[in-house]
């Protein structure tokens, strides 16, 4: 365990030693998460559909949609990799440090980053739905009226920049362990895949039930109105921004 953590520390020190190493690592990391995740979830989806456990929610897929989503996602991944360069500079100049205490610290650091991601995403997403931002930026993501696994990073470059900046504030105020920092994009893309895979189990549960986040985000794509939250329904409930009940079908 100690040896494993030491190996992670020395790898991170190497990756952060040069800006182009940080850039290349980040680009490959997000590319692997994107295509690896799609492959994994597509396999899981076809098994669960065969067993009749999952059914599709909406049916609006356009011809060639996934090709456009992949192209947009590659641009987003390039933006994420470019954002890692200022992070490397901050690290080299001592403004950002990674904590040395893994183990038990991860048990609270990871949930804190999860909650921060919920708040940051809700706020950014609300902003992206204000008229100017929607017309000029967020319409790219909403071109996928039926969300797919490929939609997860299908953004305008500015949206990729805004959402990719989620990590800067936490790491500037506290030295999170690198495992916690890396857990944020992993958690985020895993939930994002489930939010965009357009399938759920047969259920009679209310749309604001915690586990129905796939349904909530699918309705968000269908109507382009309300449901700004990421996974949790609580911020939409608190600020009264949930998609109107009559449109939740
Ligand atoms: Zn979406
Ligand atoms: Zn939206």
* Distance (Å) from CA 5 to ligand 1 centroid: 35
Q: Which residues pair with 55 in a beta bridge?
A: 200
58: number of Cβ within 10 Å: 15
* Distance (Å) from CA 178 to ligand 2 centroid: 30
Query: What is the model's pLDDT at position 247?
Result: 66
- Point out the ligand nearest to the CA of residue 73: 1
Per-residue pLDDT tens digits for 187-243: 999 999 999 999 999 988 888 899 999 999 999 999 998 999 999 999 999 999 998
- Point out the ligand nearest to the CA of residue 196: 1
Mean pLDDT of 78-104: 93
- Point out the ligand nearest to the CA of residue 228: 2
The pLDDT mean for the chain works out to 93
Mean pLDDT of 164-178: 96
* Distance (Å) from CA 172 to ligand 2 centroid: 28
* Distance (Å) from CA 147 to ligand 1 centroid: 7
Distance CA 230, CA 218 (A): 12
* Distance (Å) from CA 129 to ligand 2 centroid: 6
Distance CA 236, CA 52 (A): 31
Question: In residues, how long is the chain?
Answer: 249
Only one residue has tokens 């999860």, namely: 114
Q: Where exactly are the structural domains of the chain? A: 2-247
- Point out the ligand nearest to the CA of residue 144: 1
Mean pLDDT of 77-86: 98
Q: First vs last Cα of the chain: how many Å apart?
A: 49
- In the chain, pLDDT over 70 holds for what percent of residues? 98
* Distance (Å) from CA 124 to ligand 2 centroid: 10
């Amino acid at each position: 365990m100690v040896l494993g953590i030491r190996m992670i520390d020395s790898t991170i020190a190497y990756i952060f030693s040069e800006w182009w190493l940080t850039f290349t690592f980040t680009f490959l990391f997000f590319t692997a998460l994107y295509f690896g995740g799609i492959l994994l979830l597509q396999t899981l989806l076809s098994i669960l559909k065969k067993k009749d456990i999952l059914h599709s929610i909406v049916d609006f897929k356009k011809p060639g949609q996934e090709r456009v989503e992949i192209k947009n996602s590659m641009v987003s991944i390039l933006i994420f990799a470019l954002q890692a360069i200022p992070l490397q500079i901050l690290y080299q100049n001592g403004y950002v440090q990674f904590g040395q205490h893994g183990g038990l610290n991860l048990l609270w650091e990871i949930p804190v980053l999860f909650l921060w991601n919920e708040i940051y995403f809700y706020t950014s997403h609300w902003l992206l739905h204000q008229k100017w931002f929607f017309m000029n930026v967020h319409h790219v993501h909403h071109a996928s009226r039926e969300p797919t696994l490929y939609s997860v990073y299908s953004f305008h470059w500015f949206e990729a920049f805004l959402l990719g900046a989620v990590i800067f504030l936490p790491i500037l105020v506290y030295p999170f362990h690198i495992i916690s920092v890396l857990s944020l994009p992993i958690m985020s893309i895993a939930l994002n895949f489930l939010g965009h895979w357009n399938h759920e189990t047969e259920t009679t549960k209310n749309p604001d039930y915690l586990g129905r986040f796939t349904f909530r985000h699918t309705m968000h794509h269908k109507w382009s109105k309300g449901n700004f939250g990421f996974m949790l329904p609580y911020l939409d409930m608190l600020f009264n921004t949930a998609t109107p009940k009559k449109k939740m079908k």
